[in-house]
Structure 1
Amino acid sequence: MGVLPRTTPPTFLQELAAALGNTGASRLKPGPRATHTATGLDGTPWQITYLTRHSRQPVWGLKGPGHEHGVAVGTAEAARLITAPAPEPQPVPADPHPRAPRTHLGFPVPEFVRAEWDSERAQWWRLGIATAVGTLPDNRPR
């Protein structure tokens, strides 16, 4: 496994700054070593890490909105992603079974049980979970 570089070559950093400067809206803030930050069109922060060079072109690791775990891109693609508008968040779908809980005793409730929460089938499912967890009700005769 290869070792990541410790610094960014100045020519690649200038190339990235020029690509972002051509858009007119992004700013590149050089970091101390291989990781730098940029501000997108809408003010969103991006983290840019120099990874390696491939065919004499730099490869950047880019983290930002929509790419939280990072993506390896070239200089032109990095400039395009940074200057693109941030993706709109997906609306949360309505709960099809609002009366039934999503978890029971720390376990996720399957959808078929949530659909029939008041049925005997769901009651047996809850009893099985209680048995597995060891929280059966005390129903001994007294």
Structure 2
Amino acid sequence: MNYWLVKSEPFEYSYDDLEKEGKTMWEGVRNYAARNHLREMRVGDLVLFYHSRKGLEVVGIAKVVRDAYPDPTADKGDWSVVDLVPYRRLTKPVSLQDIKSTPALADIALVRIGRLSVMPMTKPAFDLILDMAQTEM
């Protein structure tokens, strides 16, 4: 199993929306590095859901239920999507400020490459964020 983090602006698509819909196609990614990460995702992988721009916090966990396939919303280019379902809402959201002030998380992509919308996470970093969120798996 691998671990990931995806970012979404909550006024565009929030974790609440994912919970209401029950499943989503994670589409619209138009950055090559993020696309490549989508292509590495596998069914069963767990994904931290981060609200960007407004909130700036990790709020939930999603699960990959379909491996990468061509993005049907792409007019041109070679883009990919995966399907996600809600897995668990965090007991306590974890803010970007808290993440940045935690030395063990200083090297995660969320801190180092702020504009990347899909990024890998190590299991220790994933678990630490869950601990900070007071959330058990």
TM range (shorter): under 0.3
Q: TM-score w.r.t. structure 1 length?
A: 0.25
